[in-house]
Amino acid sequence: MATFAKGILGGYSGKVGNVIGTSWKGKDVVRSLPTIRKNRVFTQTQLDQQEKFGLMIQFTKTMSSLLSTTFKAYGKGVSAINAAMSYNLQNAINSLVSPFNISYPLILVSRGVLPNTSQASATGIAGNKIQFNWANNAGIGKASDNDKVILVVHCPALNHTEYILGGKMRNELTQTMDLPLFSGETVETWLAFISESGTIVSNSMYTGFVNVTA
């Protein structure tokens, strides 16, 4: 892949011959088309990696806008979403042989240096709602009363995620999410914090699986 400065014709997007022009992180880039070998036979290791990658990309694409913020600090030379993919591929696949599965308690949907709470929970309540509760540990490291909560709810059956980025403040201790789309489903939940300035985030905390009931 190579970058190029805009000349008389400017940047371009699309395929010309065996070259593709596109934009990456605000830069115009060109790359050649990959060479595809016919009748290629993949090793089991390659097939396993493809399966893991496909599993994780399905998961992360449901919250790509969130991850662009919550993994921003780790997007050095790669996109924040790729940084999230890389971390979770290495740490949150829970089986050694195919078929592979995601270990949701090991997933991070946010990664950073801001302290998370010391205790948090998610509980299903009537009306397709989940109530999140957490302890206020403001004053520990960079934790502040004014930090905003990040709430994430993922439904594996629907492969869909709902989230709140910048909800109630750390010292408000609770927030409820209304989730009619997930009625009758079991969902996975996480909680994290983002600073009032929006510049730093915490590692997420897994708050368990919850049954959403009408």
pLDDT tens digits for range 66-119? 999 999 999 888 999 999 999 999 999 988 889 999 999 999 999 999 999 999
- For residue 133, how far is the Cα from the chain centroid? 22
The residue type found at 175 is: Q
Mean pLDDT, the chain, whole residue set: 89
CA-to-CA distance for 208 and 167, rounded, in angstroms?
19
Question: Is residue 206 within 8 Å of 190, Cβ to Cβ?
Answer: yes
Q: Under DSSP, is residue 163 helix (H, G, I), strand (E, B) or coil? A: strand
Between CA 199 and CA 96 the distance in angstroms is 37
What DSSP element (H or E) covers 66?
helix 64-70
Taking the complete model, does pTM exceed 0.85, yes or no?
A: no
